[in-house]
Amino acid sequence: MKRFPFPLRFSIPAVLVLFGTVLGVVSFHQEITKTYRKTEEDASHYARTLGSQIAGILDYLYRSRDVEQAELVISQLGSDPRLHLILLVDQQDRVVLSNNYELRQRPVSTTEAAPHLLKFPDVRQKMAGDLSFSQDRRYLRAIYPVILKAQPGELRPSNVGILFIEYDLLSEKRAAYAAAWNQALTSSAILALFCIGLWFFFDRTLTRRVNRLVAASNQLANGEFSIRAGLSGSDELAQISIAFDQMAAGIQENTKTLRRQNTTLKAQQEAAIDGILIIDENRTVISYNQRFCQLWQIPPELPEQGVDQVILESVLASLAEPEEFIAKVEYLYQHPEEASRDEVLFKDGRILDRYSASVISPLGENYGRIWYFRDITHLRQSEEEIKQVQRFLTSIIENIPNMIFVKDAKDLRFIRINKTGEDLLGYSREELLGKNDYDFFPKHEADFFTTKDRDILKAGNILDIAEEPIQTRDRGLRILHTKKLPILDDTGNPQYILGISEDITERKQAEMDLRHAKEVAEAATQAKSEFLANMSHEIRTPMNAVIGMTRLLLDMSLTPEQEDAVETIRSSGEILLALINDILDFSKIESGKLDLEAQPFELLTCLQEAVDLLSASAKLKGLEIHSFHALDLPTMIVGDVTRLRQILVNLLSNAVKFTAKGTIVVSVTAHRQDQVRDLESGSGPEKFVASGAAGATYEIQFAVQDTGIGIPVEKLDRLFQSFSQVDSSTTRRYGGTGLGLAISRRLSELMGGKMWVESEVGKGSTFYFTILAPIAAQVLPVNLHPGVQATLPQS
Ligand code: ADP
């Protein structure tokens, strides 16, 4: 359709004006024509009537020879201004009468009527009037015959004049014109008013509303989706407006949805771990994400240019196989129906996983191609590492000295076994795999294995078979230590059984041998201890006799030499006795025959007694012994006072022995113990702790500190072993057996405690030990019964 070139607001009024004008002109023209015709008709009628009447009158008057009257008639006619020329012409065409006197008696040919002379004969002939209009239709001429003098007996009058009347229509036409003009003006004015009204109407109903629609469409086209035409009414335009508004609302909604989808897609694209590039069917870049630029190490301005080729060219240099890459890309662009997945290798060792597929609409139109890239360099590396680990594990599994095998849970067939397994059982993998225990082992063994396997599968946890006899092909019966566990699938059902077996045949044999040897050795130790105990006892008695005798001898009068000799005998005897006592104690402890007493005693008294015993020899060496104790120390405790004193004397005598100058400090502290734990703890001391106990148990800690020679660090660990001395020179210088500390530690351990030492060479040593002791039922103040052993009825 050809576009209408003018806007309605102009074209409608223009059309109306044009239409009005044409209408006005046409109606005016018709009116004029009509009026003119009417005027002419009226004039003709009038002229005819007048002509025939006047001709008749004149006829009559001339017959009665009343020429005067005829003259009067003519002059009366002449008073009518419309009658421009009136002539009465005789037979010879001479003017007889006229409204213009000057024309009388003149031939017609000299008057204005001359052009019409030609018609006269005809009129005379026919004896009938003739009417005719002038060329310009201004004048109407009536020509009538008038019988001037009828001759008697004449059939045909011979003297016939002519009445010529010229009627001027000008004034009438003017009046008619003016009337027509007025009417035309009036109707034009009405028409104009009507047109203006019409224009207003159109403006209201059409132009403005159309403009509003047009403006709304333009705004919509410019992206203002919230625009609405909102025309009211129920006409077609209003309907169009409603349709438009619905369309706009639809577009707005769709745009919103599209924008949302677009945003979501964009966000999705940006959030992806993959680099994404989308190219349309003309190989223009439609979309890409930041990750894409990062992966390909290109600035974002490059894809911004929108040309796929530019990107391709810029990345080629960094690729390991650029030709192959280009070929693949080109191939895929030429085969839009194909998807592809492969890897892109870079010169710097990076690997990208590339996936590409066409973008096809649901209607099957091809919109180009989408490319995904993911950096799988690390993945490949870890895969390689995993492979290495797998190889490593496999080699471990293959070379481990244990048999490792896997059976399927369904029918317990071997599905995997390592080399050690092959060697142990004496069957090759080919022989073993796919078979079960009944194919290799005696029935009772196979029954045993199968039952165990079923048990594991039922229980679902590890089974430890400490000793599993198994009949091998060429190594006879072997003893295995086997652990089996079920391997579950995702749903928690057992799928496999994994077994690990250690061949313990040799170890088992060695253990048996060892146990036997140990039993023999223990028996020997026992015998030795008993022997020593007996021997000690046997030696102690004569020794006491020897010492007693030498004391008696010393009381007698002896020469100085004799006294010296006897004194030597006595001191040597006492040393020997001490040694024997030590040995006796030690062997008692070793053979487990030492029983501790459980009697209430005063802790501080015991300590004081030990100090007193050593104070003399200390004083001899110029040493001082100080003792300290904590204030919260329990007064009375239950235990073996003799053995406690023995430990203290031992440590104190060592301190005195190995100290040249300075002081020796003994200190005691105590911590209340948790009752329950103490009663339940240990096997040795519980009797000691429990009997005679009446209240809380205490851990009592003793420390004997000296400023002596100290002990080298490397010797500390050997210190508490029996017969151990730091070095032989010490023995030579200080004497001793090397049993004291060993006995002391064992005693403290029997009392539920322990012993340890801190020492520095040249500065001194501190020996610590602890014992566990319950406080006694009845507490007697220490100072009331000094040195008295409290005896209480046993509970
Ligand atoms: P002995 O009867 O030989 O003293 P002990 O078992 O009592 O046996 O002591 C073993 C060795 O530990 C001693 O020979 C000595 O070398 C070292 N020793 C013990 N107590 C001390 C100490 N207070 N200072 C330095 N050395 C010590």
Question: Residue of the nearest CA to atom 9 in ligand 1?
Answer: 738
Residue 678 scores a pLDDT above 80: no
Statement: residue 724 has pLDDT above 70: no
Q: What DSSP string describes 80-97? A: STTEEEEEEE-TTSBEEE
Average pLDDT, the chain: 86
**767 alpha carbon to ligand 1 midpoint, in Å?**
11
- Please give the pLDDT value at position 687: 41
Using a pLDDT cut of 70, give the percent of the chain over it.
92
Kindly report the protein residue whose alpha carbon is nearest to atom 19 of ligand 1. Answer: 654
- From ligand 1's centre to the CA of 707, what distance in Å? 14
Which pLDDT tens digit goes with each residue over 538-590? 888 888 888 888 888 888 888 899 888 888 888 888 888 888 888 888 888 87
Whole-angstrom distance, CA of residue 79 vs CA of residue 73: 10
Residues 182/98, Cβ–Cβ less than 8 Å = no
pLDDT-derived band at 327 (thresholds 50, 70, 90) equals very high
pLDDT tens-place string over residues 630-647 = 988 998 999 999 999 999
Residue type, 423: D
Query: Cβ(288)–Cβ(298) under 8 Å?
Result: no
Please list the residues that pair with 488 across neighbouring strands: 494
* CA atoms within a 13 Å half-sphere pointing along the CA-CB vector of 587: 19
Q: How far is the CA of 726 from the centre of ligand 1 (A)?
A: 7
- Please tell me if the CB atom of residue 610 comes closer than 6 angstroms to any atom of ligand 1: no
Q: How far apart are CA 198 and CA 190, in angstroms?
A: 12
Nearest-atom number in ligand 1 for the CA of 710 is: 25
Q: Which atom of ligand 1 is nearest to the CA of 742?
A: 6
CA–CA distance, 782 with 779 (Å, rounded to integer)? 9
What is the distance between the alpha carbons of residues 731 and 710, in angstroms, rounded to a whole number?
Answer: 15
pLDDT at 787: 37
Task: Return the minimum-mean-pLDDT range out of 110-124, 235-249, 525-539.
Answer: 525-539
Judge whether 444 and 419 are in contact, CB under 8 Å.
no
CA of 757 to the centre of ligand 1 (A): 11
> Does any ligand 1 atom lie closer than 6 A to the CB of residue 725?
yes
* Average pLDDT over every residue of 683-708: 70
Which whole number is the average pLDDT over 204-221?
A: 87
Binding site membership of 108 for ligand 1 (Cβ less than 6 Å): no
pLDDT tens sequence across 547-557:
888 888 888 88
- Minimum CA distance residue for ligand 1 atom 11: 725
Task: List the one residue out of 278, 280, 307, 276 whose CA is nearest residue 294.
Answer: 276
Residue 789 has pLDDT above 70, yes or no: no
492 Rama sector, left if φ>0, alpha if ψ -120 to 50, beta otherwise: left
Q: How does pLDDT run across 600-613, given as a tens digit for each residue? A: 999 999 999 999 99
- Give the pLDDT score at 148: 83
- Residue 307 DSSP label: B
Distance 738 CA to ligand 1 centre (A): 7
622's tokens: 């110029």
Question: What b-and-e string marks burial along 163-180, b requiring 16 or more CB atoms within 10 Å of the CB?
Answer: bbbbbbbeebbeebbeeb
Predicted confidence (pLDDT) per residue in 164-176, tens digit: 999 888 888 888 8
Burial 187-225, CB ≥16 within 10 A → b, else e? bbeebeeebeebbeebbeebbebbeebeebeebbeeeeb
Which tokens is 278 given?
A: 């989308």
Please report which helix (H) or strand (E) contains residue 147, including its range.
Answer: strand 139-147
What pLDDT is attached to residue 679? Answer: 44
The response to whether residue 44 sits with its C-beta less than 6 Å from ligand 1 reads no
Cβ(284)–Cβ(308) under 8 Å?
yes
* pLDDT tens per residue, range 419-461: 999 999 999 999 999 999 999 999 999 999 999 999 888 888 8
The CA distances from residue 210 to 223, 227, 252, 398, in Å, are: 20, 15, 22, 92
User: What's the rounded Cα separation, in Å, for the pair 173 and 298?
Assistant: 99
Looking at per-residue pLDDT, the higher value among 675 and 713 belongs to 713
| pLDDT at residue 730, rounded to an integer | 58
Please tell me the distance between residue 623's alpha carbon and the centre of ligand 1 in angstroms: 18
Cα of 760 vs centre of ligand 1, distance in Å, is 14
Query: 762 C-alpha to center of ligand 1: Å?
Result: 14
pLDDT of residue 522: 85
Tell me: pLDDT of 691 over 80.
Answer: no
Give the tens place of pLDDT for each residue, 730-758.
555 566 677 889 899 999 999 999 999 99
Residue whose CA lies nearest to ligand 1 atom number 12: 725
Tell me, in angstroms, the distance from the centre of ligand 1 to residue 525's CA: 25
The Å distance, Cα 522 to ligand 1 centre, comes to 29
Amino acid at 339: A
Is the pLDDT confidence value at 785 over 60? no
What value does the mean pLDDT take over residues 362-366?
Answer: 90
722 lines ligand 1 (CB under 6 A): no
Choice between 735 and 414, residue whose per-residue pLDDT is larger:
414
Judge whether residue 686 has pLDDT over 50.
no
478 pLDDT more than 70: yes
- pLDDT (0 to 100) of residue 668: 95
Q: With contact defined as beta carbons under 8 Å apart, do 480 and 468 qualify?
A: yes
For ligand 1, is residue 56 a contact (CB within 6 Å)?
A: no
- CA end-to-end span of the chain, whole Å? 130
Q: List pLDDT tens digits, range 274-301.
A: 999 999 989 999 999 999 999 999 999 9
pLDDT computed for residue 399 by the predictor: 87
- Give the model's pLDDT for residue 502: 93
Ligand 1 geometric centre to CA of 40 (Å): 177
Q: What SS3 state is found at 684?
A: coil
Q: How is residue 788 annotated by DSSP?
A: P
Q: How far is the CA of 571 from the centre of ligand 1 (A)?
A: 20
Q: What is the residue with the minimal CA distance to atom 13 of ligand 1? A: 725
Does the pTM exceed 0.75?
A: no
Q: Is the CB of 764 under 6 A from ligand 1?
A: no
Residue closest via CA to ligand 1's atom 14 equals 725
For 46, phi then psi, to 5°, come to -65, -45
CB 133 within 8 A of CB 40: yes
The pLDDT-based confidence of 688 (bands split at 50, 70, 90) is: very low
In DSSP notation, 337-389 reads T--EEEEEEBTTS-EEEEEEEEEE-TT--EEEEEEEEEE-HHHHHHHHHHHHH
Residue of higher predicted confidence among 488 and 680:
488
Does the Cβ of 639 fall within 6 Å of ligand 1? Answer: no
- 692 pLDDT above the threshold of 60: no
Residue 725: per-residue pLDDT:
63
Q: Is the shortest distance between the CB of 653 and ligand 1 below 6 Å?
A: no
711 lines ligand 1 (CB under 6 A): yes
Name the residue type at position 165.
I
Q: Which of 576, 585, 658 to mutate to test the pocket of ligand 1 (most atoms within 8 A of CB)?
A: 658
The residue whose CB lies within 8 Å of the most ligand 1 atoms, and thus the one to mutate among 722, 725, 763, is 725
738 ligand 1 Cβ < 6 A? yes
